[in-house]
A and B are shown apart, each in its own frame.
Chain A
Amino acid sequence: MTTLSFDSPADPILERRRQIQGIAKATVGRRKTYSRAAIGICWVFLVIAVIPLVAVILYTLAKGLPAWSTGFFTQVTKPEGIPNGGVWNAIVGTVIIGAIATAVTIPLGLLAGLFLAESDGWAAGAIRFAADVMTGVPSILMGIFGYIALVRTFGYAAWIGAFSIGMIMLPVIMRAGETAIRGVDPHLSEAGLALGARKFMIARRIVLPAALPGIITGALLAIARGVGETAPLLFTIFGNQYLQANPTKPMEALPLVIYNYSSQPYADLIQIAWGAALLLMSAVLILNIGSRWLAGFLQRERR
Chain B
Amino acid sequence: MTEQLSRPAAPTSPMPPTIEDNVNLTTGEVFLDRSTGHPVMQLKDVGVAFGGRSAVRNVSFDVFDREITALIGPSGSGKTTLLRALNRMHDTVRSAKVTGKIMLGDTDVYSGSTDPTLLRSRVGMVFQRPNPFPTMSIYENAVAGLRFNGVRKKALLDEAAESALVAAALWDSVSDRLKSHASTLSGGEQQRLCIARALAVEPEVLLMDEPTSALDPIATKRIEELIGELKNRVTIIIVTHNMQQAMRVADRCAFLLMGEDRTGELIEFGSASKLFSEPDDPRTLDYVNGRFG
Binding site for B on A (CB under 8 A): 1, 3-7, 11-14, 16-17, 19-21, 23-28, 30-32
Q: Are B121 and A21 in contact (CB under 8 A)?
A: yes
The 5 closest A-B pairs by CB, nearest first: A27-B150, A17-B202, A24-B149, A6-B32, A4-B14
Q: Give me 17 other A-B pairs in contact (C-beta within 8 A), A3-B36, A21-B121 excluded.
A: A3-B37, A5-B36, A7-B36, A13-B163, A16-B156, A16-B202, A17-B204, A20-B121, A20-B146, A24-B121, A24-B150, A26-B150, A28-B118, A28-B150, A30-B150, A31-B117, A32-B115
User: For residue B262, which residues in chain A have a CB less than 8 angstroms away from its CB?
Assistant: none
**B285 to nearest A CB, angstroms?**
32
User: For residue A32, which residues in chain B have a CB less than 8 angstroms away from its CB?
Assistant: 115
CA distance in complex: A6, B21 (Å): 15
**A4 to nearest B CB, angstroms?**
5
CA distance in complex: A19, B118 (Å): 14
Q: Are B117 and A28 in contact (CB under 8 A)?
A: yes
Q: Known: A7-B34, A13-B233. Is A20-B204 also a contact (CB below 8 A)?
A: no
Of all chain B residues, which has the CB nearest A16?
B202
Q: Is B159 an interface residue (CB 8 A)?
A: yes
Q: Are A27 and B149 in contact (CB under 8 A)?
A: yes
CA distance in complex: A19, B152 (Å): 12
Q: Known: A12-B163, A20-B160. Is A6-B150 also a contact (CB below 8 A)?
A: no
User: For residue B149, which residues in chain A have a CB less than 8 angstroms away from its CB?
Assistant: 20, 23-24, 27
Contact indicator per residue, chain B 10-39, by CB within 8 Å of chain A (1) or not (0): 000010010000000000000011101110
**B256 to nearest A CB, angstroms?**
23
User: For residue B34, which residues in chain A have a CB less than 8 angstroms away from its CB?
Assistant: 5-7, 11, 14
Q: Give the A-B contact count at a CB cut-off of 8 A.
A: 59
CA distance in complex: A12, B146 (Å): 17
Q: Number of B residues whose C-beta is below 8 Å from A?
A: 25
User: For residue A17, which residues in chain B have a CB less than 8 angstroms away from its CB?
Assistant: 202, 204
Q: Is B151 an interface residue (CB 8 A)?
A: yes
User: For residue A31, which residues in chain B have a CB less than 8 angstroms away from its CB?
Assistant: 117, 150
**A301 to nearest B CB, angstroms?**
16
Q: Is B241 an interface residue (CB 8 A)?
A: no
**A39 to nearest B CB, angstroms?**
14
Q: Is B88 an interface residue (CB 8 A)?
A: no
Contact indicator per residue, chain B 113-135, by CB within 8 Å of chain A (1) or not (0): 00101100110000000000000
Q: Of A6, A13, A26, which one neighbours B202 at CB under 8 angstroms?
A: A13
CA distance in complex: A119, B222 (Å): 41
User: For residue B118, which residues in chain A have a CB less than 8 angstroms away from its CB?
Assistant: 24-25, 28
CA distance in complex: A138, B258 (Å): 61
Q: Are B151 and A23 in contact (CB under 8 A)?
A: yes
**B163 to nearest A CB, angstroms?**
7
User: For residue A27, which residues in chain B have a CB less than 8 angstroms away from its CB?
Assistant: 149-150
CA distance in complex: A247, B208 (Å): 66
Q: Known: A3-B36, A24-B121, A28-B115. Is A19-B156 also a contact (CB below 8 A)?
A: yes
**B136 to nearest A CB, angstroms?**
19
CA distance in complex: A20, B143 (Å): 12
Of all chain A residues, which has the CB nearest B200?
A20
Q: Is B223 an interface residue (CB 8 A)?
A: no
Q: Is B267 an interface residue (CB 8 A)?
A: no
**B167 to nearest A CB, angstroms?**
9
Interface residues of B in 134-186 (CB under 8 A from A): 146, 149-151, 156, 159-160, 163
CA distance in complex: A7, B159 (Å): 20
Q: Of A11, A19, A26, A28, which one neighbours B32 at CB under 8 angstroms?
A: A11
**A34 to nearest B CB, angstroms?**
10
**A18 to nearest B CB, angstroms?**
9
Q: Is B201 an interface residue (CB 8 A)?
A: yes
**B18 to nearest A CB, angstroms?**
13
User: For residue A28, which residues in chain B have a CB less than 8 angstroms away from its CB?
Assistant: 115, 117-118, 150
CA distance in complex: A12, B122 (Å): 17
Interface residues of B in 88-111 (CB under 8 A from A): none
**A300 to nearest B CB, angstroms?**
12
User: For residue B201, which residues in chain A have a CB less than 8 angstroms away from its CB?
Assistant: 20
CA distance in complex: A30, B151 (Å): 13
Q: Are B38 and A3 in contact (CB under 8 A)?
A: yes
Interface residues of B in 194-239 (CB under 8 A from A): 201-202, 204, 233
Q: Known: A6-B33, A21-B122, A28-B117. Is A16-B163 also a contact (CB below 8 A)?
A: yes
CA distance in complex: A17, B149 (Å): 12
The interface centre, meaning the residue of A4, A7, A23, A30 with most chain B CB atoms within 10 A of its CB, is: A23
